[in-house]
């Protein structure tokens, strides 16, 4: 199987990721931060090492402000639900994933907040003046996806973040498609909070995500319970990261993520350049095929994602045909109905190809040739 679904989860992983995970299961296995014996202390050191590596990735001087979650979705929910209050207004972009849109929609539908979805320009880019014009006296949070998981288009986060800072409004960035590929340091993004998964561009396993909390960001915890600290008190600890990390942390996943982040940090510039070249080759090749339209403006900055539609062949049918021929892509709405509405593909969906570090030019050319053969009538 030739894998072109890296926007869903990167595969395969660097071999050291699996080795680290197996090592914790075979030789460590203790509960980090819960006991005083050597195995537990060693497990805690693995967790701390991963937290410190993530802090370096995020440009943070206080690693304790990097919070482990079960996923990027959980991290986004923690940031959103823990920050907002009755009557607040939230601004978000047209390109948000359902991990953002569903909690915001729920709050809006139940009368707790007012939600405004901002429209981009013809390139699919949200302009700072559009954001500035939408800010009102009740605006309490801005949520923006760094890059679309459908078109791959990258938003000008530093300029958008500057608008937020000028107005004293916190900015939450969904870096699901950019962490490990682009610079996601908080000061570079001008962000107050950044959420990301461990299993995509950071090349770690599924089951762990991260939420970076900038200075002054103290959302209410989603979960309360055992933290291994302040056990004499029935109140949730205020100390970070314990305030947000109730329950046992997924040690094997964190051990794997540590190796994934190290690999991604070391090779980030090469990864971005390589994936961009593959994606450009793919997009240009598909664009020459009769009946194929690639979504998103061709000149917009983007990560390694190309989604496309065919004039006569349903996206789900085409994805199934590709699967039977040995190519793994994703069809449908990609959990992002808002951008499909903007693109005009809400009813048809699209086929998404997302490249990764282990794809090759030969695989890209093979995919283009196969799409051409399958769509000939």
CATH number reported for the structural domain that contains residue 320 in this entry? 3.90.1150.10
% of the chain exceeding 90 in pLDDT: 93
Q: Based on the domain organization, do 328 and 210 belong to the same domain? A: no
CATH code at 186? Answer: 3.40.640.10
Q: Based on the domain organization, do 230 and 338 belong to the same domain? A: no
Q: What is the mean pLDDT of residues 234-249?
A: 92
Residue 35: pLDDT band by 50, 70, 90 thresholds?
confident
Residue 33: pLDDT band by 50, 70, 90 thresholds?
confident
Mean pLDDT of the chain: 96
Given 228, 263, 298, which residue is the final one in a domain? 263
Predicted pLDDT at 168:
98
Q: What is the mean pLDDT of residues 201-222?
A: 98
Predicted pLDDT at 29:
84
Given a cut of 80, is residue 182 above it in pLDDT? yes
Residue 10: pLDDT band by 50, 70, 90 thresholds?
very high
Given a cut of 90, is residue 34 above it in pLDDT? no
Residue-wise pLDDT for 185-203, tens only, equals 999 999 999 999 999 999 9
Q: What is the mean pLDDT of residues 116-137?
A: 97
Domain that holds residue 255: 15-263
Question: How many CB atoms neighbour CB 1 within 10 A?
Answer: 9
The helices-and-strands tally (H runs, E runs) of the chain is: 11, 13
Q: Based on the domain organization, do 284 and 150 belong to the same domain? A: no
Q: Based on the domain organization, do 282 and 138 belong to the same domain? A: no
Residue 23: pLDDT band by 50, 70, 90 thresholds?
very high
Q: Based on the domain organization, do 295 and 369 belong to the same domain? A: yes
Predicted pLDDT at 36:
85
Residue-wise pLDDT for 315-325, tens only, equals 999 999 999 99
Residue 228: pLDDT band by 50, 70, 90 thresholds?
confident
Predicted pLDDT at 178:
98
Q: Based on the domain organization, do 248 and 304 belong to the same domain? A: no
Given a cut of 80, is residue 377 above it in pLDDT? no
Residue 368: pLDDT band by 50, 70, 90 thresholds?
very high
Q: Based on the domain organization, do 111 and 194 belong to the same domain? A: yes
Q: Which helix (H) or strand (E) holds 285?
A: helix 251-287
Q: How many domains does the chain have?
A: 2
Residue 284: pLDDT band by 50, 70, 90 thresholds?
very high
Q: Based on the domain organization, do 311 and 365 belong to the same domain? A: yes
Q: What is the mean pLDDT of residues 57-73?
A: 98
Given 234, 263, 292, which residue is the final one in a domain? 263
Predicted pLDDT at 138:
98
Q: Residues of 139-167 as b/e, b for ≥16 C-beta within 10 angstroms?
A: bbbbbbbbbbbbbbbbbebeebbbbbeee
* Of the listed ranges 32-41, 112-121, 214-223, the one predicted with least confidence: 32-41
Instruction: Name residue 91's beta-bridge partners.
Output: 116, 142
Q: Based on the domain organization, do 249 and 325 belong to the same domain? A: no
* Of the listed ranges 31-35, 130-134, 201-205, 237-241, the one predicted with least confidence: 31-35
Instruction: Name residue 68's beta-bridge partners.
Output: 210
Residue 226: pLDDT band by 50, 70, 90 thresholds?
confident
Given 263, 283, 309, which residue is the final one in a domain? 263
* Token couple for 46: 């693995």
Predicted pLDDT at 73:
98
| Cα 328 to Cα 233: distance, rounded to the nearest angstrom | 51
Q: Based on the domain organization, do 127 and 210 belong to the same domain? A: yes
Given a cut of 90, is residue 166 above it in pLDDT? yes
| CA distances for 171 relative to 10, 38, 90, 164, 329, angstroms | 27, 41, 10, 7, 32
Q: Based on the domain organization, do 233 and 278 belong to the same domain? A: no
Q: Based on the domain organization, do 6 and 71 belong to the same domain? A: no
Does the model's pTM come out above 0.75?
yes
Given a cut of 80, is residue 263 above it in pLDDT? yes
Cβ contacts of residue 214 below 8 Å, gap of 6+?
Answer: 65, 186, 191, 192, 193
């Amino acid at each position: 199987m030739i894998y072109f679904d890296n926007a869903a989860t990167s595969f395969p992983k660097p071999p050291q990721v699996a080795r680290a995970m197996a090592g914790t299961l075979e030789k460590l296995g203790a509960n980090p931060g819960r006991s005083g014996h050597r195995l537990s202390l060693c497990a805690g050191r693995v967790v701390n090492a991963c937290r410190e590596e993530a802090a370096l990735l995020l440009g943070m001087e206080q690693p304790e402000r990097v919070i482990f979650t079960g996923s990027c979705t959980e991290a986004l929910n923690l940031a959103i639900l823990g920050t907002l209050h009755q009557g607040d207004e939230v601004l978000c972009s047209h390109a948000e994933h359902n991990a953002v849109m569903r909690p915001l929609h729920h709050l809006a539908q139940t009368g707790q907040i007012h939600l405004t979805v901002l429209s981009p320009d013809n390139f699919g880019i949200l302009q700072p003046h559009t954001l500035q014009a939408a800010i009102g006296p009740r605006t309490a949070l801005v949520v923006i996806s760094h890059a679309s998981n459908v078109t791959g288009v990258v938003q000008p986060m530093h300029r958008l973040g500057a608008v937020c800072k000028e107005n004293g409004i916190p900015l939450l960035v969904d870096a699901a498609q950019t962490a490990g590929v682009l610079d996601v340091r908080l000061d570079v993004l001008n962000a107050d909070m950044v959420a990301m998964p461990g299993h995509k561009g950071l090349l770690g396993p599924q089951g762990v995500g991260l939420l970076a909390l900038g200075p002054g960001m103290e959302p209410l915890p989603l979960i309360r319970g055992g933290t291994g600290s302040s056990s004499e008190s029935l109140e949730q600890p205020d100390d970070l990261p314990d305030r947000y990390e109730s329950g046992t942390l997924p040690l094997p996943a964190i051990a794997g993520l540590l190796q994934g982040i190290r690999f991604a940090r070391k090779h980030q510039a090469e990864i971005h350049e390589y994936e961009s070249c593959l994606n450009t080759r793919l997009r240009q090749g598909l664009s020459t095929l009769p009946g194929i339209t690639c979504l998103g403006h061709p000149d917009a900055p983007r990560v390694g994602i190309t989604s496309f539609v065919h004039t006569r062949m349903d996206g789900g049918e085409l994805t199934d045909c590709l699967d039977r021929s040995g190519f793994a892509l994703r069809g449908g709405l990609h959990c992002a109905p808002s951008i499909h509405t903007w693109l005009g593909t809400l009813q048809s969906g699209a086929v998404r190809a997302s490249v990764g570090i282990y794809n090759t030019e030969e695989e890209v050319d093979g995919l283009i040739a196969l799409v051409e053969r399958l769509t000939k009538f």
